[in-house]
Amino acid sequence: MPSLNHGLIQANLIFALKLGYKDKYSVVSELSLDLSGWESVPDICIIPKMSLNPRQDVVTVKEPPLCAIEIISPSQSVNELIAKAERYFQYGVKSCWIAIPALQNIYVFSSPDDYEMYKASETLSDPVLDIELALKEVFS
């Protein structure tokens, strides 16, 4: 179950991504995915840029996002989210981030075995999506 810190970090990440990359990507929260029968709802998805179409909605997306971002909640374990990240890669996601609010860290995975860890005082770099984010604002 998401907590207050989870929600604040989720909002801050969405704001930072929209601010810096709105012309390149669309950023979606709580998007229902059905990837070849595996259902998941990442906290945030980064998808190719698309326009909002109020007359047509998609309840469940069947294509993998470019990036799935998960924020650990007090009721989750790190191992649980690492296993989830591995599944995202199996189904075609190109990049996966795992945020740990209590440590003010974000892990950026470019494959299940290749990741970098960024602290709140650093600038996150996702080489797969060519994204750079100063994390100071995300964790404040």
Instruction: Identify whether 15 is part of a domain.
Output: yes
Structural domain tally of the chain? 1
**75: CB partners within 8 A, 6+ apart:** 1
Tell me the pTM: 0.96
Phi and psi of 80, rounded to 5°? Answer: -60, -45
Task: Indicate the burial class of 85 (C-beta count within 10 angstroms; 0-12, 13-18, 19 or more).
Answer: buried
Query: What is the model's pLDDT at position 29?
Result: 97
Instruction: Identify whether 140 is part of a domain.
Output: no
Query: What is the model's pLDDT at position 79?
Result: 94
Instruction: Identify whether 124 is part of a domain.
Output: yes
> Which CATH number is 26's domain given?
3.90.1570.10
> Range of 21's domain?
4-49+57-134
Instruction: Identify whether 139 is part of a domain.
Output: no
Instruction: Identify whether 74 is part of a domain.
Output: yes
The pLDDT tens digits along the chain (140 residues) read 679 999 999 999 999 999 999 999 999 999 999 999 999 999 999 999 999 889 999 999 999 999 999 999 999 999 999 999 999 999 999 999 999 999 999 999 999 999 999 999 999 999 999 999 999 999 99
As a whole number of angstroms, the distance between CA 20 and CA 77 comes to 30
Query: What is the model's pLDDT at position 121?
Result: 98
Query: What is the model's pLDDT at position 120?
Result: 98
Phi and psi of 94, rounded to 5°? Answer: -90, -25
Query: What is the model's pLDDT at position 132?
Result: 98
Instruction: Identify whether 61 is part of a domain.
Output: yes
Instruction: Identify whether 129 is part of a domain.
Output: yes
Instruction: Identify whether 23 is part of a domain.
Output: yes
